[in-house]
Amino acid sequence: MNRPQIILHHYPRSPFAEKIRIVFGLKSIHWHSVEQPRMAPKPTLTALTGGYRRIPVLQIGADIYCDTRCILRELERRVPSPTLYPLSTHGFANIVAAWADRDLFASALGLVFGLHGDRFPPELHADRAHFTAGRFDGWDSTRMKPRIPELHAELKRQMTWLESILRDGRAFMLGAYPSLADAAVYHPLWYARGNLGEDAGLERHSRLSNWMGRMDAIGHGTMTSLSQEDALSVARNAEPAAPEFAPDSAGSHRRGERVQVQPTDWGFDPVEGELIGIDRETISLRRDDDAVGNVVVHFPRDGFAVTPAG
Ligand SMILES: N[C@@H](CCC(=O)N[C@@H](CS)C(=O)NCC(=O)O)C(=O)O
């Protein structure tokens, strides 16, 4: 039987994409890489998603998974071993990941934009200003510059916490095996190290530096490049799978209603479609698109708002 292609839409320098790539390594996954621009417009990506432009996006046939939380849930379902939640670490791993994706990422990003904002082209600054609609300052180098000392202190404090977790000699954040917590802590530090070098201050935390070395060694699995056009035809030639939803957790939402789904933190482009399912973890919308035909777009509940379309 042919295994469905696992396609990642991403760009090399994206930290959230690195969170997924390292999980490909952890699970020894063979995947297809579609490189997308780091700024809007991203016409092939938004043809698949219906407007969502953040990176990364996972595509499996005509199923489109937005946001790393939703992507990882699907990867864990399809490739359960080795698990992202070894030895019942589900709750801890998710809590650490929520902190890393938000707080650790915000200090790493703020410091990169504060220290090196002038390295980025004006178009990128304009794009990120639109992207955040002034509600998240991390990508704003003018606002970040005066905060550099505070951001340095914050990142140092966060790295000290992580160093102290590793003090008992454990190999990974939650014990002997790598988990979601490791992937989530890794991506902001990978981004800080890649952009700030020694200024990131990792070398001053020897256990954390060694842990980074162990994470680097995990790699990205094996990868084949795919063109944006080929990814669109994969979607056109596939039918969306029929997902399962947990009963009794749809709240006031009804299957079949037209809704809008929108991130609540940054990148507020809404996606409209027919609600085909919703539960505590996932929101799934059907869309019919001229370029890609019938697709189902999946989002996590966490960090997304669902409202009636209108
Ligand atoms: N919560 C989202 C965050 C995704 C995110 O913010 N990605 C950044 C790149 S690392 C982005 O989309 N930046 C704007 C862009 O690339 O156009 C996730 O977990 O996927």
Q: What is the pLDDT of residues 191-243, one digit of tens each?
A: 999 999 999 999 999 999 999 999 999 999 999 999 999 999 999 999 999 88
Q: Which residues pair with 8 in a beta bridge?
A: 33, 58
Rounded to the nearest angstrom, the distance between the alpha carbon of 56 and the centre of ligand 1 is 6
pLDDT at 245 (0 to 100): 84
Q: Is the dihedral of CA 288, 290, 292, 298 positive or negative?
A: negative
Q: Are residues 240 and 290 in the same domain?
A: yes
Give the domain extent around 38: 7-82+223-308
165 and 57 in a common domain: no
Q: Quick one: pLDDT at residue 244?
A: 83
Tokens for 173? 């954040």
Q: What are phi and psi of 10, to 5 degrees?
A: -165, -175
Rg of the chain in Å (alpha carbons): 19
In a domain, 241, yes or no: yes
Ligand 1-lining residues (CB < 6 angstroms) = 14-16, 38-39, 53-55, 67-69, 101, 131, 267, 303
Q: Is residue 150 in a domain? A: yes
Instruction: Kindly state whether residue 234 falls inside one of the protein's structural domains.
Output: yes
Helix axes 15-26, 206-218, angle to 10 degrees: 70
The CA–CA distances, whole Å, from 222 to 24, 27, 133, 147, 275 equal 8, 11, 37, 40, 35
Q: What is the DSSP string of 127-163?
A: HHHHHHTTS-GGG-HHHHGGGHHHHHHHHHHHHHHHH
Mean of pLDDT over the chain? 96
Confidence at residue 248, expressed as pLDDT on a 0 to 100 scale: 66
Question: 78 with 112, same domain?
Answer: no
Strands (E), the chain: 7-10, 30-35, 57-60, 63-66, 222-225, 258-263, 271-278, 282-289, 293-300, 304-308
Task: Determine, yes or no, domain membership for 185.
Answer: yes
pLDDT tens digits, 283-310: 999 999 999 999 999 999 999 999 999 8
Question: Distance (Å, rounded) from C-alpha 180 to C-alpha 257?
Answer: 34
CA atoms of 264 and 120, how far apart (whole Å) = 26
- Do 53 and 104 have their domain in common? no
pLDDT(176) > 50: yes
Structure-block tokens of residue 225? 């490049």
Q: What's the structural domain count of the chain? A: 2
pLDDT at 87 over 80: yes
Atom of ligand 1 nearest to the CA of 16: 10
Cβ–Cβ under 8 Å, residues 267 and 39: no
Place of tokens 């190290």: 193
Ligand 1 centroid to Cα of residue 130, in Å, is 14
Q: How far is the CA of 247 from the centre of ligand 1 (A)?
A: 30
pLDDT of residue 2: 61
Residue 259: phi, psi to the nearest 5? -135, 170
pLDDT in tens, 25-70: 999 999 999 999 999 999 999 999 999 999 999 999 999 999 999 9
229 and 174, same domain (yes or no):
no
Task: Give me the phi and psi of 283, to 5 degrees please.
Answer: -120, 130
- Is the predicted pLDDT of residue 3 greater than 90, yes or no? no
Q: What is the CATH number of the domain that holds 238?
A: 3.40.30.110
Last residue of a domain, one of 189, 218, 247: 218
Which pLDDT does position 242 carry in this prediction? 81
Boundary residue ending a domain (174, 197, 218): 218
Residue 1 lies in a domain: no
Residue 260: per-residue pLDDT: 98
Q: Are 262 and 233 contained in the same domain?
A: yes
Same domain, 191 and 129: yes
Give the CATH number, domain containing residue 197: 1.20.1050.10
Considering the domain architecture, whether residues 178 and 250 belong to the same structural domain is answered as no
pLDDT, residue 19, reads: 98
Q: Residues 181, 124: one domain?
A: yes
Is it the case that residue 1 has pLDDT exceeding 60?
no
User: Would 2 be classed as within a structural domain?
Assistant: no
- 102 and 38: one domain? no
- For residues 107 and 204, membership in a common domain is answered with yes
Give 115-118's long-range contacts (Cβ < 8 A, gap of 24+): 115/148, 115/196, 115/199, 116/195, 116/196, 117/141, 117/142, 117/144, 117/145
Average pLDDT over residues 98-122: 97
159 and 174, same domain (yes or no): yes
Q: For a ligand 1 pocket test, name from 9, 11, 13, 16 the mutation site with the most ligand atoms within 8 angstroms of its C-beta.
A: 16
Per-residue model confidence as pLDDT tens digits over 125-135? 999 999 999 99
Give the Å distance between the CA of 119 and the centre of ligand 1: 20
Distances (CA, A) of 254 to 213, 246, 250, 310: 48, 14, 7, 15
pTM: 0.97
Question: Which residue matches tokens 């432009």?
Answer: 53
As a whole-number percent, the residues of the chain with pLDDT over 90 amount to 93
Domain limit, last residue, from 218, 243, 278: 218
